[in-house]
Amino acid sequence: TVHHVTAELDGGPIILQEPVKVADDDTAESLAAHILEVEHRIYPEAVRLLAEGHLRIDGRRVKILKEVHGG
């Protein structure tokens, strides 16, 4: 989960989120590795959306604005 940072720990609205499958034989270490893989994929995407002005944050709501691809 990537969320907007506020003064409250993990209190900001969610920007992007992706599920992580948990296998019966997962350990804390293997699960942490799976989570890290997802973080490395979605954090840059969240930063890009914010930097390019494609996020609108209104209180607890986040809207991803349509991206316009020029031609």
Number of structural domains in the chain:
1
Which residues does 64 contact at the CB level (< 8 Å), separation at least 6?
49, 54, 55
pLDDT, tens digit only, all 71 positions of the chain: 898 888 888 778 999 999 999 999 999 999 999 999 999 999 999 999 999 999 998 888 899 998 655 54
Whether 46 maps to a domain, the answer reads: yes
Q: How many CB atoms lie within 10 A of CB 15?
A: 20
Is there a domain that residue 71 lies in?
no
Looking at residue 44, what DSSP letter applies? H
* Residue 41 covered by a domain: yes
Q: Determine the structural domain holding residue 57 and report its residue range.
A: 2-64
pLDDT of residue 67: 66
Helices (H), strands (E): how many in the chain? Answer: 1, 4
Q: Where are the beta strands (DSSP E) in the chain?
A: 2-3, 14-16, 55-58, 61-64
Residue 34 inside a domain? The answer is: yes
Residue 69 falls inside a structural domain: no
Q: Flag whether 70 is in a domain.
A: no
Predicted TM-score (pTM) of this structure: 0.73
